[in-house]
Amino acid sequence: MEFAQRLRDEAKMLKRWEKTDRMMWGDKAMYAPIWELGFVHAQGPHVAESGLGLITGWVFAAPYEDVTLQGQ
């Protein structure tokens, strides 16, 4: 008797959980970016040589350590 009651309680709890989940989220899929990548590109009026395009086939800038500023 106790085992059957526990099974009924678990079934009720599962139904409540499923109903709550549908109310909160529905049947929609959502997409939210977790982070946005930001890169130092070393381009602008104060940069002696732009780091963009120094490495062939690489979409990012050259290493930040190699950037030189004008007048230095």
Give the pLDDT confidence of 14-35 residue by residue, as tens digits. Answer: 999 888 888 777 666 677 777 7
Tell me whether residue 7 is in a domain.
Answer: yes
Tell me whether residue 39 is in a domain.
Answer: yes
Tell me whether residue 49 is in a domain.
Answer: yes
Tell me whether residue 71 is in a domain.
Answer: no
Task: Give me the domain span that covers residue 14.
Answer: 2-66
- Rounded to whole angstroms, the Cα distance separating 67 from 53 reads 13
How many independent structural domains does the chain possess? Answer: 1
Calculate what percentage of the chain has a pLDDT beyond 70: 75
Tell me whether residue 72 is in a domain.
Answer: no
Q: How far is CA 13 from the centre of its chain?
A: 33
User: Does the pLDDT of residue 6 top 80, yes or no?
Assistant: yes
